[in-house]
Structure 1
Amino acid sequence: MARTVNVFVRSPDTRSERRYDLALTVGQLKNKLELVTGIPPQNQKISVYANEDVPEPIIVLSDDNRPLGFYGVRDWQLLKVDDLNPSVSFTGQLTDTSQVDKFELSPEEYEQRQDTVLAYKQRNKIGRFAEKPAEEDVEGEEVEIQIGARCEVESAEEDFRKRGTVKFVGSTEFAKGVWVGIEYDEPIGKNDGSVKGKKYFECKPNFGVFVKPDRVKAGDFPVEEINFDDEEM
């Protein structure tokens, strides 16, 4: 038969795991618990709970002369130690921060300190302080594509030529960099020359598209009629 038990001990200021001999009297236990909880033996009320999740105790260790074994204390039960006179032992004050003066800094003072998380991030270029890649120099980007030129747009589909006429070259509000607006010869586009309500050039719906200059090849590209009926019904 086991002669010791492993239990959890909880008080207003402490929580720990302990092992005690079942032959230990409640009075002797209280003397040991004073060193753990800071509560004098005469002010201790020890209740036994099946575990920390149950609201009601199994029993209260009320007789200082009885051993723990008498109360049937088992492994991993909870011994809850209440302080009957907290004004003497000052229990609960270690966890009560309501009366503690707070050290506060203004945002300006915080930014000047060198021992803060903010300063660490700034020194190591972390988060919003990370170096950003240089943005495209829109004004300095030269594009040798003329408005009105015939063109062919790079396609991922083999033997599929996407041809049209250049209608716009320049910067836009929908994305950075220089874009080329094209009116396709067939309705294989994505818009009518407008993006997000902004009109950049005129064309029929589904004939317009915007692509990056490196996908556009200007030259003598005659109109090719695309027959959609061969593959679609």
Structure 2
Amino acid sequence: MSSTVHVFVVSPDTRSERRFELHTSVGQLKNKLELFTGIPVHNQQILLLNNEEDANPVNVLNDDSRPLGFYSVRDWQVLKVVDTNPSVSFTGQLTDTSQVEKFEISEEAYAQRQDTVLAYKQRHKIGRFAEKDQPEQHASPEISIPVGSRCEVETTEEGFHKRGTVRFVGLTKFGTGEGIWVGIEYDEPIGKNDGSVQGERYFTCKPNYGVFVRPDRVRVGDYPVEEINFDDDEEI
């Protein structure tokens, strides 16, 4: 009898096919699920379904000490990961802009404000406000991160490499203040978006493969594709 099981894992922002050891405990499973669903361990509720359309779960994996085999998990069943506190992890909200309240301001009121990009350019004589006998100044420094290059994103987790391909370098409409953002398509579904944020598209990739980070977190180099293994490494 096989000691592993193939299942579909679904969450508000992800859907993937995974393989787990049947002796893996529910507590260990939650640690693995957090890496690609983004839902913190203590906010996870795992439902076992026969298929994604089932309204009623076959079982609820609610005992962290029990192994998957205890719940009779079979190949190609569905582990549905429910976020019990989405206000903390923001699951389902990054791709849903329907509830975002739009901020609108008249051109006259905008021109009177002193905390805007327009006011900054006026004070520092940038762009169309530059003095005619001086070359135009640039607000953003030049970034040596070519689009299309392989890269690795800085992470605090030891041994965990976030690798991918640079797809965008430039200014965006999101974020506070001015500055360059680097858009990356990860090799694995550990990102936050599909290359678009708040309805604005900067590049295109599969859902949860895209991410935007500051340039100082990106290292460009000849980084090969390194598959992330979410399975239990123990052998018996």
Provide the TM-score with structure 2 as the length reference.
Answer: 0.42
With a CA cutoff of 8 Å and minimum separation of 6, indicate the structure with the bigger relative contact order.
Answer: 2
Structure 1 or 2, whichever has the larger Rg, is 1
